[in-house]
Amino acid sequence: MAAPSLLNWRRVSSFTGPVPRARHGHRAVAIRELMIIFGGGNEGIADELHVYNTVTNQWFLPAVRGDIPPGCAAHGFVCDGTRILVFGGMVEYGRYSNELYELQASRWLWKKVKPHAPSSGLPPCPRLGHSFSLYGNKCYLFGGLANESEDSNNNVPRYLNDFYELELQHGSGVVGWSIPVTKGIVPSPRESHTAVIYCKKDSGSPKMYVFGGMCGARLDDLWQLDLETMSWSKPETKGTVPLPRSLHTASVIGNKMYIFGGWVPHKGENIEASSQDCEWKCTSSFSYLNLDTAEWTTLVSDSQEDKKNSRPRPRAGHCAVAIGTRLYFWSGRDGYRKALNSQVCCKDLWYLDTEKPPAPSQVQLIKATTNSFHVKWDEVPTVEGYLLQLNTDLPYQATSSDSSAATNMQGVRMDPHRQDSNSIIPNSINDIMNSAKTEHTAMKVTSVKNKPDLKSSTDSNAVLHSPLATNASNHNSCMVDMLRKNEGPHTSANIGVLSSCLDLRTVIPETSVSSTVCSAQTMVTQQAIKTESSSTNGAVVKDETSLTTFSTKSEVDETCALPATKISRVETHAAAMPFSKETPSNPVTTTKAGERQWCDVGIFKNNTALVSQFYLLPKGNQSISKIGNADVPDYSLLKKQDLVPGTGYRFRVAAINGCGIGPFSKISEFKTCIPGFPGAPSAVRISKNVEGIHLSWEPPTSPSGNILEYSAYLAIRTAQIQDNPSQLVFMRIYCGLKTSCIVTTGQLANAHIDYTSRPAIVFRISAKNEKGYGPATQVRWLQGNNKKTPLN
């Protein structure tokens, strides 16, 4: 975590959609990039379910159905995959509840569930202010506040320290309550405390940590429950313990439990006195406990004033959600002194990056031309941009174009919650910081260096073997056609043609499966897929696809077609990469002796870039600007160099958030194309039929002459591939002029299921002109985790 002085709080602005009214006592959970809020109150208890998309900065109200629960506050709220459980809380007319509801967020369907009572003892009594924590297939309920009086208007509070375990059924439903027998001293009764569960990655059993709460006075004690031995203990901690508090939040990111806000005693409060006789206040203090070392660290103390409104103001009864390594805080009440007898609820939404982002995946190629690359990398959650760099063995020489000339690069706005639509070229870091939000598309990569062995085959069912690359010059992947006839004297020249590897995640499946475009209202069931631009050879994808895995989904990649009989992996692995992992603190740096200096391509808002030029970093000092806590060159002062045909370039990328620039990815290497070869087939479609499946495609958008034939290949099972899953063996299943073919059930029975990412059957399709075969399109037909054979 950054030092206290370097905390970079961000207040989110420019919302779209129906913003919920301010409140306190609400609860929130996260499903991927979505923050889902339920309950709470402010002049009445809220009963709506609100969803905030942290990527699009959009609020929406899903159309829920089923057994919709009444509004409640100070309830239990946990998330298990895409289902949410709600237990207890205060409902209408001040009544306490012990009812349990389940929300299937994939369908926005509510269901009231009735767990079995414990085999010995009573089920949990109605309560509020309890903790409700999930680990594995069990929820753990501890403490809370009950009403001894049957009259909700005559509240006789009773603080609880009972402990229950709720077993869940897989996917939906619950089994029942049980009362575990625990060892050791039990924490004192309390309500409005927090409880989180943490398990060390390497070893150890899961442990529940209870902190603070209220029992006539506010508490600052920390308790630990080993969930395997069911033993309570009070761990000894180092550092400054946060002030006693209640109605705070506790969130776990990595091995740290972050405590923010809550009610704390006012100076001079006598903690021995009853809560009715003492003063209290809200706080904006922020601390964390390292759960591995049991050491507290104060990031914002109670005594620190904030006159610049640079962080959330004091509050209690708010909600906090961790998405990736980012913490979001919303609403809550700002507290009141007894003399004022009033309170105000906060309306603001804030977030804080708790650490630098992790390294993105390797840069992946969508499409290579003679003087440009279209590249992508996997998205990193909750980042504000990406720094893309390259180097090459060619001598650097600035292009003659003016540094302010338009390039194929798009700038990034470092506020991800602004909804502007323009894209501008970053002439300086200030331009980047103030530029409008750009829109990019999601894509994937590969590369080739050395010439593979050349062998010929005339068998239309010839099998292609894919040896794993073993050295720096053959570490990436390319696909080759096995038929060399009619390729002419230019065969060896095509070795330099770089592959295009395009991961569209899903081509449009022409089936009855419900993988259709969804509305914002059904966002939680969807995993957003960006639409391909025209520069990707016309490939068509859905804007979004269902979270549920269907056997008819496809992924499309483009890979390189070379005139030889061997093909190597499309997706490179770390074992094939001779380059070291580098995490330089300076965005532009000189690498080890003998290696070329890394040059910036630019900073990009999204995870894709069209690269035709890069910036040359001058020797000596250069102007530096800031992105968060990171130093970045002033691009307006740098010269640019164009990419050149038939040349290899190495790429790496790092993510940027409020803590600065994270570590760089592993290195990928690609070559620009040599003119004359056809482009890759596009707009691939897969649909089922009685014979098997129908595979179709569109001709290349750049045929570079007449297309003589197409070839389609299927990755098949072999003993070799079982011994080494990184090797793929392909059989040609079609060769001809038509832009479609039938893949029979017999052929599919021999298909290899590739588990490199999601389980899929792999096809490759390439086009040939007078000069030879060009880049191929690779299709990954998703099968689902439980599929054993296709077409089930």
pLDDT at residue 578 above 90? no
Residue 790's pLDDT band (cuts 50, 70, 90): low
pTM of the model: 0.68
Please tell me the predicted confidence (pLDDT) of residue 628: 56
Residues 696 and 710 in one domain: yes
Please tell me the predicted confidence (pLDDT) of residue 198: 97
Least confident of 6-20, 186-200, 507-521, 714-728: 507-521
Please tell me the predicted confidence (pLDDT) of residue 725: 59
Query: Is 679 a domain residue?
Result: no
Last residue of a domain, which of 295, 328, 353? 353
Residue 458's pLDDT band (cuts 50, 70, 90): very low
Q: Amino acid identity of 627?
A: I
Query: Is 386 a domain residue?
Result: yes
Q: How many structural domains are present in the chain?
A: 3
For residue 736, give its domain range.
685-782
Residues 319 and 380 in one domain: no
CATH number at residue 661: 2.60.40.10
Please tell me the predicted confidence (pLDDT) of residue 723: 64
Query: Is 528 a domain residue?
Result: no
Mean pLDDT of the chain, nearest integer: 74
Please tell me the predicted confidence (pLDDT) of residue 352: 96
The tens digit of pLDDT for each residue in 579-610 reads: 223 333 333 344 454 567 899 999 999 999 99
Please tell me the predicted confidence (pLDDT) of residue 528: 29
Residues 666 and 745 in one domain: no
Higher pLDDT, residue 37 or 343: 37
pLDDT at residue 476 above 80? no
Least confident of 341-345, 548-552, 606-610: 548-552
pLDDT at residue 465 above 70? no
pLDDT at residue 189 above 60? yes
Please tell me the predicted confidence (pLDDT) of residue 724: 63
Least confident of 181-195, 246-260, 466-480, 732-746: 466-480
Residues 646 and 693 in one domain: no
Q: Are 565 and 713 in contact (CB under 8 A)?
A: no
Query: Is 410 a domain residue?
Result: no
Phi-psi region of 293 (alpha: psi -120 to 50; beta: other; left: phi over 0): alpha
Query: Is 468 a domain residue?
Result: no
pLDDT at residue 668 above 50? yes
Q: Which of 483, 473, 537 is nearest to 671 (CA)?
A: 473
CA distance 495 to 560: 9
Least confident of 39-43, 63-67, 288-292, 782-786: 782-786
Residue 10's pLDDT band (cuts 50, 70, 90): very high
Q: Are 542 and 529 in contact (CB under 8 A)?
A: yes
pLDDT at residue 3 above 80? no
Residue 336's pLDDT band (cuts 50, 70, 90): low
pLDDT at residue 681 above 50? yes
Running DSSP on this structure, what letter comes out for residue 370? S
Residues 33 and 127 in one domain: yes
Give the mean model confidence (pLDDT) for residues 501-522: 29
Q: Amino acid identity of 435?
A: S
Give the chain's length: 792
Last residue of a domain, which of 299, 329, 353? 353
Residue 399's pLDDT band (cuts 50, 70, 90): low
Please tell me the predicted confidence (pLDDT) of residue 626: 55
Please tell me the predicted confidence (pLDDT) of residue 513: 27
CATH number at residue 229: 2.120.10.80
Residues 323 and 364 in one domain: no
Higher pLDDT, residue 296 or 409: 296
Residues 247 and 387 in one domain: no
Q: Are 549 and 782 in contact (CB under 8 A)?
A: yes
Residue 507's pLDDT band (cuts 50, 70, 90): very low
Query: Is 743 a domain residue?
Result: yes
Cα torsion 546, 548, 553, 557: sign: positive
Q: What is the per-residue DSSP string for 769-787?
A: ETTEEEEEEEEEEE--TT-
Give the mean model confidence (pLDDT) for residues 13-25: 93
The tens digit of pLDDT for each residue in 132-170 reads: 999 999 999 999 999 887 776 777 899 999 999 999 999
DSSP H helices, 312-381, are: none
Q: Which of 305, 262, 189 is nearest to 24 (CA)?
A: 262
Residues 41 and 104 in one domain: yes
pLDDT at residue 645 above 90? no
Helix (H, G, I), strand (E, B) or coil at 723: helix
Cα torsion 446, 389, 648, 496: sign: positive
CA distance 259 to 78: 18
Residues 306 and 364 in one domain: no
Query: Is 648 a domain residue?
Result: yes
The residue assigned the tokens 């509020």 is 128
Percent of the chain with pLDDT over 70: 67
The residue assigned the tokens 């990436």 is 476
Give the mean model confidence (pLDDT) for residues 737-754: 93
Please tell me the predicted confidence (pLDDT) of residue 302: 83
Q: How far is CA 271 from CA 145, 275, 278, 497, in A?
A: 19, 8, 8, 76
Residues 286 and 306 in one domain: yes
Least confident of 67-71, 123-127, 429-433, 784-788: 429-433
Residues 41 and 142 in one domain: yes
Please tell me the predicted confidence (pLDDT) of residue 250: 98
Query: Is 194 a domain residue?
Result: yes
Please tell me the predicted confidence (pLDDT) of residue 150: 72
The tens digit of pLDDT for each residue in 281-298 reads: 899 999 999 999 999 999
Give the contacts of 630 (CB within 8 A, at least 6 positions apart). 587, 656, 660, 661
Residues 112 and 181 in one domain: yes
CA distance 153 to 182: 35
Q: Are 49 and 38 in contact (CB under 8 A)?
A: yes
Percent of the chain with pLDDT over 90: 49
